[in-house]
Amino acid sequence: MRTLTCMVVDDEPLAVKLLESFVNKTPDLQLVASFTDSVEAISAIKSQPVDLLFLDIQMPDMNGMELAHIVPPETKIIFATAFKEYAYESYEVSALDFLLKPIRYNKFLTAVEKARQWYDRMEAEPEKNSIHQDDTIFIKVDGEFRQIPVASILYVSGMKDYVMFWIEGERKALITHMTMKAVEDMLPAAQFMRVHRSYIVALNKIRSIDRNDCIYIGEEIIHVTEAYRPQFQQFLSSRISG
């Protein structure tokens, strides 16, 4: 069983100590660093990505939801908060689990087990859900492989351990078990761009972009988040005439 590296970010020192103790007494978990300042945590996470990030939501300067949009996609997030009303919002940033304070060790272990299972699946079947073939891709949907023309893809959205391919002419998304990083690597970079932790868009399918950096594509409105804005602005600049 592989060792999962971990980081803890919480502005409450006692909460940090509790999570540190949980990590340290759990087999095959390795604590890399802990922070009570979310801003200080950013550079550490970017320079040394970890497998698991235990992250508080309500913090000064930068809250957990904002930080989650900056975290490298290979890091799985487990939120730890005293406010259960954030549970739904946590899924928008593809959080692996949501721990409600005061956190009990058995709940912590359940979340860690989810992470283990996720990484085990990724290592056991790294290429099982996709096959390349010229200008089409194959994705595994409901137990069978569907061939999708790359040119028909509007955008891809992430939802926990699954992604949804939104296709022109299809009323429902095609759902498959993959990571957003795997999709990003699979699709041609000249045609697709990640603009949000949970969204990859087909650049030639964008109808319009408003002053708030919201992309109108298909029937969806997708906001370009701060982490992906420089790359997107560079793309726009190269396409604006006059």
pLDDT, position 133: 44
For residues 205 and 192, the answer to whether their CB atoms sit within 8 Å is no
Do residues 193 and 167 touch, judged by C-beta distance below 8 A? Answer: no
pLDDT tens digit string along 143-160?
787 888 999 999 999 987
13, 5, 6: which is closest to 59 by C-alpha?
Answer: 13
For the cut 90, the answer to whether the pLDDT of residue 7 exceeds it is yes
pLDDT at 194 over 80: yes
Pairing type for strands 52-55 and 174-176 reads unpaired
Pick the more confident residue, 23 or 189.
Answer: 23
Quickly state the pLDDT bin for 85 (edges 50, 70, 90): low
- The CA angle 183-238-187, to the nearest 5 degrees, is 15
Residue 209: its pLDDT value, please? 93
pTM beyond 0.75: no
**Range of 57-66, 72-81, 89-98 with top mean pLDDT:** 72-81
- Using alpha carbons, select from 82, 109, 78, 102 the residue that is nearest to residue 91: 78
For the chain, state the CA radius of gyration. Answer: 19
Beta carbons of 34 and 26 less than 8 angstroms apart: no
pLDDT surpasses 80 at 235 = yes
Least confident of 31-35, 145-149, 172-176: 145-149
3-state secondary structure of 88: helix
Helix (H, G, I), strand (E, B) or coil at 137: strand
